[in-house]
Amino acid sequence: WKQPVIVAVSGAAGQISNHLLFKIASGEVYGPDQPVALRLLGSERSREALEGVAMELEDSLFPLLREVSIGIDPMDVFVDADWALLIGAKPRGPGMERADLLEMNGAIFVEQGKALNAVAKPTCKVCVVGNPCNTNALIAMENAPNLDRRNFHALTRLDENRAKCQLALKAGVFYETVTNVTIWGNHSTTQVPDFVNAQIGGEKAMDVIDDNGWLENDFTPAIQTRGGLLIKKWGRSSAASTAVSIADAIKSLVTPTPEGDWFSTAVCTDGNPYGIQEGIIFSMPCRSNGDGSYEIVDGLEINDWLRERIKKSEEELTKEAECVSHLTGK
């Protein structure tokens, strides 16, 4: 048997985790021969709920699940972690400004970044889901200098999946026919779902869907605002599809990317080939050889339409980074 992969999950008593943890424990994420140890991070407020989650995981008799433990101190929970999935965050309340949210959640990610730095494996891969996820990931990264900056991700895979779904529905094809979809930028309404480089059945999506008006004026805002629409309809933010997309994001790093394709993940812009300001966490097209690392895919066509919108998302993230400079030491 292989050594268990140690996966720490924050917000483990929350809605997304309630779907994700069972996928991980079943072996569908890290592979059917890879044992897992789950370390669940919560707070005083969620301690009882966490115990309940751990009981459900144990009662499921997953053969690959070697350990479930719970804790409320990241310095305990992150010990020797191979992966940290940072899902817990304070949701935006009525009347709360984005800056307030950045500040409150920032404090959580300073503490967790420091704990990762102190006790996680230096190779630990970190995926931040809790919003505002790009800037939370930046804060964690800057507080964890012992970890490679390339180990930090913020989740934009849900946005990619949403874009693939809408392109497939419009073209009348199966989802897996849609490839090479990039989400550029921030996981916010400034994100840029890239239909210019997307492909459907190996052809340019713009040739298959010969309707620029729809791509620019319907598809793009639909993806940018789909999270908000779901909250309006469902009364809470997406949980099951988010968990699926986190599983997809991890699988994309632990299995080789199919030839010619790529996936979206928000990563540190240091040394990026698109001239995006360095030192922020920005969603870009990436490939992996399956060992948990990635490379940014170079050479995508950036036309004026894309460039203008990518710039807006870059400006938004640069402003967010300035707002939290006291938390990142920059």
Q: Return residues touching ligand NDP (CB under 6 A).
A: 11, 13-16, 42-43, 45-46, 87-91, 129-131, 133, 155, 158, 187, 237-239, 242
Catalytic positions: 187
Q: How far is the CB of 141 from ligand NDP (least distance, A)?
A: 16
Q: Which is nearer to ligand NDP, 97 or 304 (CB)?
A: 97
Q: Which is nearer to ligand NDP, 201 or 228 (CB)?
A: 228
Q: Which is nearer to ligand NDP, 10 or 199 (CB)?
A: 10
Q: How far apart are CA 11 and CA 184, in angstroms?
A: 26
Q: How far is the CB of 16 from ligand NDP (least distance, A)?
A: 4
Q: How far is the CB of 301 from ligand NDP (least distance, A)?
A: 26
Which residue of this chain has its Cβ atom nearest to ligand NDP in the complex?
Answer: 14
Long-range contacts at 104-108 (CB < 8 A, ≥ 24 apart)? 105/130, 105/131, 105/132, 105/136, 106/135, 106/136, 106/139, 106/324, 106/327, 107/327, 108/136
Q: How far is the CB of 221 from ligand NDP (least distance, A)?
A: 17
Contact 208, 228 (CB under 8 A): no
Q: How far is the CB of 312 from ligand NDP (least distance, A)?
A: 19
Q: Beta-carbon neighbour count of residue 307 at 10 Å?
A: 13
Q: How far apart are CA 64 and CA 28, in angstroms?
A: 10
